Amino acid sequence: MGRIGNAFDIMRLRGRVATTWVRLGCAVALAIPAIGLASVGATSAADPDSVPAIGAESYWLPLPVEEIEAPESLDDPPGAAAGFTMRATIRAGRAAIRRVAASRMGRSLLVELSLLGEGAASQAGTISLRGIHSGLSVVGGRLGARGSGSLFLEAVGLSRRASRVPAARAEEPSLEAPSTAASPSIEGIGLERSQRPGARIPGVWTLVGRRVEDGAKVGALGIRGAFGHGSWGASAGALEGAPAGAIACELRSAAGAAACEMAFSREGPATLFSAESAPGPLRIRGRWRQRGAGMRRAACELSVDGGPRIAHAKLLVGGGPSGPIGAAGRAELECRLAFRGAGPINLRAGRSRTEGFSAASGATVREERYAVLDASIARSEGRGFSLLATRRARDSAGGTRLGSSLGGRIELTWRGRGRLEVLVEAARADLAGGAAWGSGLFAGGSTALRTRTKPGVAASTRGALRLGRWQLGGLVEGREDERGRRASAATIWIQRALPGVAH
């Protein structure tokens, strides 16, 4: 799962003030359930600005941070290739450089050097040599793998288990420097050669080294090829001597796409299958995963989305394991109203059920109803104002616990060079087990929902300024709980674009 900042890309601010009573009525109607004056529910929806391509993820509202596969990478500055990147944080009055990276592009070679500011110095550096025309890359030092099919990388310990079911993919992974010390990575060397367009020789990749967190030996080898309407891949490797392997295939046509990944490891065989119809008035997606171990091995996500031009709705139903022996199921409806010239109004309303077992309390069942609203109230030249509201109600044996939040976000842009986003939010939560969601901003431009179990006011400011090829950005946030304790943190990044690379 990648960045989810598409709904919060404030550089796209355009338009004029909304002037229709319909828009206001919808905003108020959507706000009422979200702030707890009525039961949770959604009644209408609207069309996204653009239809995502096959395989692309689209979220109109931020996801809970625990459902994001690599939240630590969200603080990285936006943009892939940069001549220079530096990210630093300030917490409790102490400043620390988290990552410094520099690149140099020659005629046929791109040389990148990355240094993490955390952990042992011997495990902090990564150097990569990438052939611009040859497609050959060599990465040494601390490296991670990203973007491949999920089952094989899980099996060899190079990615975390995600709760959401991802799409199956047959692409080779991208070997690169980890963005943070918390990212899954190995200390070793990797080699990859991508398949050239139209060539018969498949792409190949390999890596070998020791996992940074526990020193486990990791080795992997894979090939990937493409044909007329699809691609295939095969991978084999070992984690601390335990073999693992996977094959993947991806088929695309005008009517839709389907992909499958089958993997084996010491846990047993695992399968991931995904299919989706082509973009159109009605779009259907389905994903199914069967792991090799655990009491509850199967998980699935089914979604249907569609609607007229200004209103779009997406229904998502899913279920899967929760913890070692538990199970979780969810059904949610996401709606979007997007009138011409005005910002969108997005609502997500859903219900989840989590079953578990503990030695202390035996079998437990927890049901939760939730709603998240992000309503753009008005926009003018270079400015936007949105109302944010969330509500969660947890039902358990101890009763119903409530949590809610309410706030606003102001977005300012300056001549396409600078942008500033200020968010303030107050949260309430029953102290005996209630939880509210708050909006968590990340310095890289993304937003995610963070669970808050105590009442308080949180304020965050995020901005970026572009001066020629240089970009300076950052995030400052402060929170307060019911005891008046304040915690503040800041993240600053500096980036210099490579010549000829637009950001």
Partner 1 sequence: MTRASLRAGCGGSLRVLAAALVATVLLGAGLRASPVMAAFELRDASPAALGAVSMDLESEPMFDAIGPRAGIRVGASHAALYQIEGLAQERAWIGVEGRRGSLSFACSRVGVEGATESSARLALRESRAQAVALELDAERLDLALDGEPREGGWAFGGWARARFSLSRLDIEVDVAADRVLRSNGLARLSVSPSVPVAIRLRSGGATAAWVDRWGGDGRRSPRIVLEMPIAGAARLRLGRGEAPERIGAALAVRLRRIEVSAGRIDQSDGGVVTGASVGLLPASSGGIR
Q: Does 424 bind partner 1 (CB under 8 A)?
A: yes
C-beta closer to partner 1: residue 223 or 347: 347
Q: Which two tokens stand for residue 273?
A: 């299958």
For the chain, give the number of residues.
Answer: 503
Segment lying near partner 1 (by CB under 8 A), choices 17-25, 283-291, 315-323, 489-497: 17-25
Measure the CA–CA gap between 123 and 104, rounded to whole angstroms: 22
Amino acid at residue number 109: L
Segment lying near partner 1 (by CB under 8 A), choices 38-46, 117-125, 246-254, 425-433: 425-433
C-beta closer to partner 1: residue 107 or 483: 483
Q: Does 117 bind partner 1 (CB under 8 A)?
A: no
The DSSP code sequence of 431-456 is: TTT--EEEEEE-TTS-EEEEEE-S-E
C-beta closer to partner 1: residue 253 or 380: 380
Q: Does 93 bind partner 1 (CB under 8 A)?
A: no
Nearest distance in Å: CB 475, partner 1: 16
C-beta closer to partner 1: residue 21 or 107: 21
Residue with tokens 């949770």: 40
Measure the CA–CA gap between 373 and 390, rounded to whole angstroms: 6
Segment lying near partner 1 (by CB under 8 A), choices 12-20, 44-52, 207-215, 266-274: 12-20
Angle of CA points 468, 471, 473, to nearest 5°: 150
Q: Does 408 bind partner 1 (CB under 8 A)?
A: yes
Q: What is the CA radius of gyration of the chain?
A: 23
- Longest CA–CA separation in the chain, Å: 67
476 has which bridge partners? 461, 490
CB–CB of 316/305 below 8 Å?
Answer: no
Nearest distance in Å: CB 11, partner 1: 17
CB–CB of 40/349 below 8 Å?
Answer: yes
Q: Which of 393, 429, 443, 448 binds partner 1 (CB under 8 A)?
A: 429
Q: Does 134 bind partner 1 (CB under 8 A)?
A: no
Segment lying near partner 1 (by CB under 8 A), choices 169-177, 295-303, 325-333, 405-413: 405-413
Q: Does 168 bind partner 1 (CB under 8 A)?
A: no
* 450-489 residues near partner 1, rule: CB under 8 A: 455-457, 459, 478, 480-482, 484, 486
CB–CB of 314/333 below 8 Å?
Answer: yes
Q: Which of 6, 8, 23, 167 binds partner 1 (CB under 8 A)?
A: 23
Nearest distance in Å: CB 22, partner 1: 10
Residue with tokens 């437990």: 364
* 368-387 residues near partner 1, rule: CB under 8 A: 377-380, 383-385, 387
Dihedral angle sign, alpha carbons of residues 271, 272, 277, 281: positive
Segment lying near partner 1 (by CB under 8 A), choices 18-26, 79-87, 131-139, 253-261: 18-26
Segment lying near partner 1 (by CB under 8 A), choices 13-21, 53-61, 126-134, 237-245: 13-21
Q: Does 84 bind partner 1 (CB under 8 A)?
A: no
The DSSP code sequence of 133-199 is: TT-EEEEEEEEEEESS-HHHHHHTTSSPPPSSPPPP--PPPEEE--SSTTS--EEEEEEEEPPPTT-
Segment lying near partner 1 (by CB under 8 A), choices 65-73, 87-95, 103-111, 417-425: 417-425
Provide the 8-state DSSP code for 86.
Answer: E
Nearest distance in Å: CB 326, partner 1: 30
Q: Does 425 bind partner 1 (CB under 8 A)?
A: yes
Q: Of 229, 245, 158, 232, give the one whose Cα is nearest residue 195.
A: 232
Q: Which two tokens stand for residue 57?
A: 């993820």
C-beta closer to partner 1: residue 239 or 435: 435
Q: Which of 392, 428, 450, 462 binds partner 1 (CB under 8 A)?
A: 428
C-beta closer to partner 1: residue 301 or 425: 425
Residues in CB range of 120: below 8 A, 6 or more apart:
none
Measure the CA–CA gap between 62 and 8, rounded to whole angstroms: 9
Q: Of 148, 4, 169, 161, give the one whose Cα is nearest residue 73.
A: 4
Q: Which of 109, 221, 325, 422 binds partner 1 (CB under 8 A)?
A: 422
Q: Which two tokens stand for residue 446?
A: 């993304």
Q: Which of 208, 410, 489, 501 binds partner 1 (CB under 8 A)?
A: 410
C-beta closer to partner 1: residue 444 or 455: 455
Q: Which two tokens stand for residue 17?
A: 């003030």
C-beta closer to partner 1: residue 175 or 429: 429
Nearest distance in Å: CB 130, partner 1: 45
CB–CB of 327/319 below 8 Å?
Answer: yes
Q: Does 440 bind partner 1 (CB under 8 A)?
A: no
Measure the CA–CA gap between 108 and 129, rounded to whole angstroms: 10
Instruction: Give the containing element (helix H, strand E) for 353.
Output: strand 345-358
Nearest distance in Å: CB 482, partner 1: 5
| Interacting residues with partner 1 (CB under 8 A) | 16-21, 23-24, 28, 377-380, 383-385, 387, 406-408, 410, 422, 424-429, 455-457, 459, 478, 480-482, 484, 486
